C-alpha cells in the first residue's frame, strides 16, 4: 500500500534542565536540554504503531514518523529552521519504506548542493538532515511493524550497503569490503537476536558524575549505580585537577576495584594538558578518557592516546563519517562513540559502524540528553546482531533523565538496555510533553520568563 507524507511539522521543544545542573560538564555549565523535533504525518488507514498506540491527538489518518536533533538550549530555533528547509523533500511524496527509498532520501537530503554549502556535511544543516532521516526510519519501521533495530537487522547485506554514502570513504572502506563484513555476520543473526531479547544490551551510567554535583551526591549515586547492576560509571572531569583527583578517588572508593570508572573532559583540554592531566588521574584507574580535546582534532587524539596510559574514547561531537574514518585510520581512539542525532541519521551511523568493524574498534554510543538513549540503543543492538556481531567491550551510555516524556522509553534492567519491542525508533515524545515544553509559548516557559529574557 502506497502512502504519502501529508504534513511536515517542526517543533522547538526545550526542558529547563539548567535549574538543577543535571548535565553540567566542563564545557557546558548550564544546558537546557532541547529537541528540534519533526513529525511526518501520512494519509491512508494503515496503522502499525504497535503498543505505543495513536500518534497524538492531532495525528493524521496514517502512521507518523518522529525524529529530532538534540541541542542544549539557545539556538534550538536555528535547528528547527534548518529542518524546515528539508520539507520539500518529504511533503507530498511517497513514504520511503524500503532500503532503496531510505538510501535515496538520505542522499537527497545531504547532497542538495545549496544546502550542503552550509556545512558541508557538518553542524546545524547536517544534524537537520539527520532528524528527518531518523523520522523517516521511525515511519518505515512502524509500517514494517518492527522496532528499528530489527527492521535494520532484517535487511540483506546488499540492502544495508545501499544505505551508505561511500563518497570520501573508499580509501578506508569500499562497498565490497562492507558487503563482506555484513555477509560474515549474517549466519549468527538469529542466534544473537534471541540472546539480545533474553539478556539485553550492556549499559553504563553517567548519572553520578555531573560536574555540578557535590561529593555526597556523587558517592550516593555511584553506589546506587552499582546496586542497580551497572558495571561501569562515568565522571565529568576537566574543571580543576585537584577536584578531579578527589572526585575520582571518592568514586573509586565507593564502587570498588571491579567497576569501570570512565572520565569525560568534554573537549576541555589542549593536547599537552590532556596528557599531563590524565597522567595525574591514571593511578585511580580510569577506564577511558572521553573527548580529551577538540572533536575535530584527529591528530590531537592520536597524540593524547600515545602520550598517556588511559584509553581514549570520542565521537559524540564528530561531525561526519569522514572524520570518523580518519580517527580510525590514524589509530586515534580506542572506542568510537556514535551519537544518534549528530550525524545524518541512521544511514551515516551505519557507515560509522561499518568503518569501526573494519578497524576492529568497539562502538560505545553516546546517549543522555533528550531521547538519545531511546534512539541509539537501536543502533547498538543492530550492530550486535548484524555488523560487529559482538558486545564484548561494548556498552551504551545511559542517563536517567527525561525518559518520562517518551511514549516508548528506554528500559534498563540490571544495568542493561532491554531490547525494544514497539515498532519504530522509540522517538515519539508524549503529546502533553510536546505541548508543555514548546518554546517559548509552552506553559513551562511562559511560567518562567518572557521570550526577551531567554534570548541570551
Q: Does 23 bind its own copies (CB under 8 A)?
A: no
Q: Does 260 bind its own copies (CB under 8 A)?
A: no
| 442: CB partners within 8 A, 6+ apart | 435, 436
Write down the catalytic residue from 122, 325, 366, 437. Answer: 366
Provide the mask over 96-115, with x wherever binding to its own copies is found by CB under 8 A and - wherever it is not.
----------------xxxx
Q: Long-range contact list for 219-228, CB < 8 A, 24+ apart?
A: 219/250, 219/251, 219/254, 222/250, 222/251, 222/254, 222/255, 223/254, 223/255, 225/255, 226/254, 226/255, 226/256, 226/259, 228/412, 228/414, 228/415
Q: What is the spatial distance between Cα 456 and Cα 443, in angstroms, rounded to a whole number?
A: 20
- The DSSP H or E segment spanning 354 is helix 345-359
Interface with its own copies (CB under 8 A), residue from 323, 361, 399, 407: 323
Which set of grid coordinates corresponds to residue 248? Answer: 575520582
Q: What is the spatial distance between Cα 90 and Cα 365, in angstroms, rounded to a whole number?
A: 29
Q: Does 88 bind its own copies (CB under 8 A)?
A: yes
Write down the catalytic residue from 66, 236, 301, 403. Answer: 236
Q: 45 or 114: whose CB is closer to its own copies?
A: 114
**CA distances to 103, 143, 151, 286, 377 from 140, in Å:** 12, 5, 9, 41, 18
Q: What is the spatial distance between Cα 6 and Cα 312, in angstroms, rounded to a whole number?
A: 46
Q: Does 303 bind its own copies (CB under 8 A)?
A: yes
Site for its own copies in 158-187 (CB under 8 A): 166-171
Q: Please report how close the Cβ of residue 413 comes to its own copies at its closest, in angstroms.
A: 31
Tally of residues, the chain:
456
Interface with its own copies (CB under 8 A), residue from 2, 45, 117, 187: 117
Which set of grid coordinates corresponds to residue 362? Answer: 568497539
Q: 142 or 321: whose CB is closer to its own copies?
A: 321
Q: 147 or 295: whose CB is closer to its own copies?
A: 295
Q: What is the spatial distance between Cα 355 and Cα 307, in angstroms, rounded to a whole number?
A: 25
Which set of grid coordinates corresponds to residue 117? Answer: 554549502
Interface with its own copies (CB under 8 A), residue from 221, 263, 298, 419: 298
Q: Please report how close the Cβ of residue 231 comes to its own copies at its closest, in angstroms.
A: 30
Q: 26 or 219: whose CB is closer to its own copies?
A: 26
Q: Which stretch binds its own copies (CB under 8 A): 67-75, 375-383, 410-418, 431-439?
A: 67-75
| 204: CB partners within 8 A, 6+ apart | 230, 231, 232, 233, 234, 260, 262, 395, 396, 397, 398, 415
| 176: CB partners within 8 A, 6+ apart | none
Q: Please report how close the Cβ of residue 89 comes to its own copies at its closest, in angstroms.
A: 7
Site for its own copies in 408-427 (CB under 8 A): none
Q: 87 or 220: whose CB is closer to its own copies?
A: 87
366 is catalytic: yes
DSSP 3-state of 49: coil
Interface with its own copies (CB under 8 A), residue from 20, 51, 53, 75: 75
Interface with its own copies (CB under 8 A), residue from 295, 368, 389, 440: 295
Interface with its own copies (CB under 8 A), residue from 21, 48, 78, 250: 78
Interface with its own copies (CB under 8 A), residue from 162, 224, 326, 390: 326
Size of the site for its own copies (CB under 8 A): 66
Q: Are 366 and 266 in contact (CB under 8 A)?
A: no
Q: Does 319 bind its own copies (CB under 8 A)?
A: yes
Q: What is the spatial distance between Cα 340 and Cα 69, in angstroms, rounded to a whole number?
A: 8
Q: Please report how close the Cβ of residue 86 comes to its own copies at its closest, in angstroms.
A: 9
Q: Tell the residue number behind the cell numbers 556498552, with chain if given.
A: 395
Q: 180 or 272: whose CB is closer to its own copies?
A: 272
Interface with its own copies (CB under 8 A), residue from 49, 55, 64, 121: 121
Phi, psi at 229, each rounded to 5°: 100, 5
Q: 99 or 169: whose CB is closer to its own copies?
A: 169
Q: What is the spatial distance between Cα 428 and Cα 450, in angstroms, rounded to a whole number?
A: 28
Q: Does 72 bind its own copies (CB under 8 A)?
A: yes
Q: 68 or 230: whose CB is closer to its own copies?
A: 68
Q: 3 or 267: whose CB is closer to its own copies?
A: 267
234 is catalytic: no
Q: Give the binding site for its own copies (CB under 8 A).
A: 27-32, 71-75, 77-79, 81-82, 85, 87-89, 112-127, 166-171, 267, 270-272, 293-300, 303, 317, 319-320, 322-323, 325-326, 329-330, 455-456
Indicate which residues carry an active-site annotation. 236, 366
Amino acid at each position: 500500500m502506497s502512502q504519502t507524507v501529508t504534513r511536515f511539522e517542526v517543533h522547538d521543544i526545550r526542558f529547563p534542565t539548567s535549574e538543577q545542573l543535571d548535565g553540567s560538564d566542563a564545557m557546558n555549565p548550564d544546558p537546557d536540554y532541547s529537541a528540534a523535533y519533526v513529525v511526518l504525518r501520512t494519509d491512508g488507514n494503515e496503522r502499525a504503531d504497535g503498543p505505543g498506540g495513536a500518534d497524538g491527538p492531532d495525528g493524521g489518518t496514517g502512521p507518523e514518523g518522529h525524529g529530532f536533533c538534540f541541542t542544549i538550549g539557545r539556538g534550538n530555533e536555528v535547528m528547527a529552521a534548518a529542518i524546515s528547509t528539508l520539507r520539500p523533500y518529504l511533503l507530498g511524496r511517497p513514504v520511503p519504506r524500503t532500503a532503496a527509498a531510505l538510501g535515496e532520501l538520505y542522499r537527497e537530503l545531504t547532497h542538495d548542493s545549496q544546502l550542503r554549502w552550509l556545512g558541508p556535511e557538518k553542524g546545524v544543516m547536517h544534524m537537520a538532515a539527520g532528524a528527518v532521516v531518523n523520522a523517516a526510519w521511525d515511519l518505515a519501521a512502524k509500517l514494517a511493524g518492527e522496532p528499528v533495530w530489527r527492521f535494520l537487522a532484517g535487511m540483506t547485506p546488499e540492502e544495508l550497503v545501499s544505505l551508505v554514502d561511500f563518497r570520501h570513504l573508499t580509501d578506508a572502506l569500499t562497498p565490497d569490503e562492507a558487503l563482506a563484513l555484513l555477509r560474515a555476520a549474517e549466519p549468527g543473526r538469529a542466534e544473537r537476536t534471541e540472546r539480545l531479547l533474553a539478556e539485553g544490551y550492556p549499559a553504563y551510567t553517567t548519572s553520578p558524575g555531573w560536574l555540578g554535583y557535590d561529593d555526597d551526591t556523587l558517592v550516593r549515586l555511584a553506589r546506587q549505580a552499582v546496586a542497580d547492576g551497572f558495571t561501569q560509571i562515568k565522571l565529568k572531569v576537566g574543571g580543576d585537577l585537584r577536584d578531579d583527583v578527589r572526585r575520582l578517588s571518592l568514586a573509586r572508593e565507593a564502587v570498588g576495584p571491579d567497576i569501570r570508572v570512565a572520565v569525560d573532559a568534554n573537549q576541555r583540554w589542549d593536547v599537552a594538558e590532556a596528557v599531563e592531566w590524565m597522567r595525574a588521574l591514571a593511578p585511580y584507574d580510569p577506564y577511558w578518557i572521553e573527548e580529551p580535546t577538540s572533536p575535530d582534532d584527529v591528530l590531537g587524539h592520536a597524540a593524547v592516546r600515545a602520550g598517556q596510559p588511559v584509553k581514549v574514547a570520542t565521537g559524540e561531537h564528530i561531525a561526519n563519517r569522514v572524520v570518523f574514518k580518519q580517527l580510525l585510520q590514524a589509530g586515534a581512539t580506542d572506542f568510537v562513540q556514535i551519537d544518534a542525532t549528530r550525524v545524518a541519521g541512521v544511514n551515516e551511523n551505519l557507515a560509522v559502524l561499518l568503518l569501526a568493524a573494519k578497524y576492529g574498534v568497539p562502538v560505545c554510543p553516546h546517549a543522555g540528553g533528550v531521547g538519545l538513549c531511546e534512539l541509539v540503543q537501536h543502533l547498538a543492538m543492530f550492530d550486535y546482531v548484524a555488523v560487529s556481531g559482538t558486545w564484548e567491550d561494548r556498552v551504551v551510555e545511559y542517563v536517567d533523565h527525561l525518559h518520562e516524556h517518551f511514549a516508548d522509553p528506554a528500559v534498563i534492567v540490571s544495568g542493561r538496555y532491554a531490547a525494544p519491542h514497539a515498532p519504530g525508533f522509540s522517538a515519539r515524545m508524549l503529546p502533553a510533553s510536546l505541548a508543555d515544553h514548546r518554546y517559548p509559548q509552552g506553559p513551562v516557559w511562559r511560567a518562567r520568563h518572557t521570550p526577551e529574557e531567554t534570548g541570551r
